[in-house]
Amino acid sequence: MKPFIHDDFLLSTDTAKKLYHEYAANQPILDYHCHISPQEIAENKQFRNLTELWLAGDHYKWRAMRTNGISEDAITGDLSDWDKFYNWAITVPYTLRNPLYHWTHIELKRVFGIDKLLNKDTAKEIWDTCNEILQRPDFTCQGLIRKANVQLICTTDDPIDSLEYHQQIKDSGFEVLVLPAWRADKVLAIENLGPFNEYLDKLAEVASVGISSYESMMQALQNRHDFFAEMGCKLSDHGLDKFFSQKYTAEEVDVIFEKARNGQPISKEEADKYKSSVLYDLAVMDYSKGWTQQFHVGAIRNNNSFMEEQIGPDTGYDSIGDELVAQDMSNFLNGLQSEDKLCKTILYNLNPAHNEVYATMIGNFQDGKTPGKIQWGSGWWFLDQKDGMEKQMNALSNLGLLSRFVGMLTDSRSFLSYSRHEYFRRVLCNLLGNDVENGLVPNDEKLLGEMIENICYYNAKEYFGFFD
């Protein structure tokens, strides 16, 4: 009997199989956005067991376990690692038709060579087998990265981060390029006065700039931006609920900043003006260095305030938002374009109702010189699954150029998540294979093969210039 994860998994036609195995499967991985720890890479961490590697920090699994009636002590609490894994194993059969079922078994197959389905009956055997394998010298963080054929990783880093582990990785001679990516979200959170001012104090210290005005804050950020560039950074990223493009004057922003720095409450209108100014100024910094800016837009975070108090933020209580995005996004991009300061940009939406909005928006600001300068990013977070990927690629095909797409990224905190690139590539090849079988695209292997190679690897390599 054929195992669930087999060579032709997700590939429903002969054309799809040929395209995947001959053009997609062996392409290196450029993982240009993720949340894995540079410290763990630098220290070449050896994981004690499968729970530490696979479940710690994985909000997707935590949400599924809660929905399955698993108590919090068996998810983020004090139960043993074995108990947490066993409760995940109990949950897995209930994830049928959720992408977690696919991801779980692809990762077990690709990393550990396990074909058995994970459930309560197989849990102990799989636990023991994986834990034994994880103690081998080639199953450290760096070993897992090598096995996945990863060529580059961009982590996600705050402006105040020292980037010492990136330097350590570089000095170690590790053959995979690990670069920082700039994410200055905390400087936008002006409505949370206490944390905001505490953060600015830390920024002032690491940038060696006293922050008493908006101008001095931007100078501190510029100093750190310069440092990130020296460390090889080529990308920024922003996690936004929406774009901010309110009209403001420099004098207004100065007053708003001074109020916040003095601990005085800020109105929503004032916060929006401040955020509009900061986003613009950060975008100009990126443009000045030829970076690519990324915007992940549309999440409502930490919805469950009770659980946030119990176990902290970013623990799996986020959802898709429904803010209107088109006009503010257009105004933001247009403002930069009007001053010829719009750098390469990747836009990611979390609400699938906005697919066509994003697919058409990117066409408004292409420059006729850089292929695919403005990108609509791959299905993200709740859309990071077969249906979400297909809908994203179909809308991009209908309204833009799929052939110029820079492809997949993990957006993950797990060293097992590189299999998501395989998942994406299989979905892509199946989509095109079905089109061939249905007579919607020509059965031209050279044409299709080059397109797939480009989407899987070469487009991103050329677009970001990591190896220039």
Rounded-to-integer distance, Cα 262 and Cα 213, Å: 11
User: Average pLDDT for residues 3-22, to the nearest whole number?
Assistant: 97
* Predicted confidence (pLDDT) at residue 69 exceeds the cutoff of 90: yes
CB-based contacts of 337: which residues, under 8 Å, 6+ apart?
Answer: 365
In the chain, the amino acid numbered 251 is: E
User: Average pLDDT for residues 206-210, to the nearest whole number?
Assistant: 97
Rounded-to-integer distance, Cα 362 and Cα 345, Å: 9
- Using pLDDT thresholds of 50, 70 and 90, give the confidence band for residue 198: very high
Mean pLDDT score of the chain, rounded to an integer? 97
Q: What is the DSSP string of 167-217?
A: HHHHHHT-SSEEE--EE-GGGT-TTSHHHHHHHHHHHHHHHT---SSHHHH
3 state SS of 157: strand
Rounded-to-integer distance, Cα 388 and Cα 166, Å: 33
In the chain, the amino acid numbered 356 is: E
Check residue 225 and give its pLDDT.
Answer: 98
- Using pLDDT thresholds of 50, 70 and 90, give the confidence band for residue 356: very high
**Smallest Cα–Cα separation from 215: which of 267, 272, 277, 153?**
277
Residues facing residue 345 across a β-bridge: 293, 374
* Predicted confidence (pLDDT) at residue 42 exceeds the cutoff of 90: yes
Let me know: does 86 contact 79? Beta carbons within 8 Å: no
* Predicted confidence (pLDDT) at residue 314 exceeds the cutoff of 90: no
Sequence length of the chain is 468
- Using pLDDT thresholds of 50, 70 and 90, give the confidence band for residue 395: very high
Neighbours of 113 (CB within 10 A): 10
Check residue 280 and give its pLDDT.
Answer: 98
User: Average pLDDT for residues 80-102, to the nearest whole number?
Assistant: 97
Residues facing residue 293 across a β-bridge: 236, 345
Distance of CA 124 to the CA centre of its chain: 32
Rounded-to-integer distance, Cα 416 and Cα 459, Å: 24
Give the alpha-carbon dihedral of 320, 326, 327, 330, to 10 degrees.
120
Phi, psi (rounded to 5 degrees) for 403: -65, -20
The pLDDT tens digits of the residues spanning 130-155 come to 999 999 999 999 999 999 999 999 99
* Predicted confidence (pLDDT) at residue 364 exceeds the cutoff of 90: yes
The pairing of strands 319-320 and 299-300 is antiparallel
The CATH number of the structural domain formed by 14-43+148-464 is 3.20.20.140
- Using pLDDT thresholds of 50, 70 and 90, give the confidence band for residue 119: very high
Check residue 64 and give its pLDDT.
Answer: 97
* Predicted confidence (pLDDT) at residue 57 exceeds the cutoff of 90: no
Rounded-to-integer distance, Cα 297 and Cα 129, Å: 40
- Using pLDDT thresholds of 50, 70 and 90, give the confidence band for residue 355: very high
Rounded-to-integer distance, Cα 91 and Cα 195, Å: 37
Neighbours of 337 (CB within 10 A): 14
Check residue 468 and give its pLDDT.
Answer: 85
* Predicted confidence (pLDDT) at residue 187 exceeds the cutoff of 90: yes
CATH of 46-139, one of 3.40.50.720, 1.10.2020.10, 2.170.190.11, 1.20.58.1030: 1.10.2020.10
In the chain, where are the structural domains located? 14-43+148-464, 46-139
Biggest CA–CA distance in the chain, Å, is: 72
**Percent of all residues in the chain with a pLDDT value above 70, rounded to a whole number:** 100
Ramachandran sector of residue 5 (left: φ over 0; alpha: ψ -120 to 50; beta: rest): beta
b/e sequence 347-371, b meaning 16+ C-beta within 10 Å: bbbbbbebbebbbebbeeebeeeee
Phi, psi (rounded to 5 degrees) for 323: -65, 145
Let me know: does 380 contact 348? Beta carbons within 8 Å: yes
The pairing of strands 150-154 and 299-300 is unpaired
* Predicted confidence (pLDDT) at residue 172 exceeds the cutoff of 90: yes
Burial category of 465 from C-beta neighbours within 10 Å (exposed 0-12, middle 13-18, buried 19 and up): exposed
* Predicted confidence (pLDDT) at residue 457 exceeds the cutoff of 90: yes
User: Average pLDDT for residues 326-336, to the nearest whole number?
Assistant: 98
- Using pLDDT thresholds of 50, 70 and 90, give the confidence band for residue 1: confident
Half-sphere exposure of 156 (CA within 13 A, CB side): 20
This prediction has a pTM of 0.97
Question: Angle formed by the axes of helices 326-338 and 268-289, to 10°?
Answer: 40
CB-based contacts of 80: which residues, under 8 Å, 6+ apart?
Answer: none
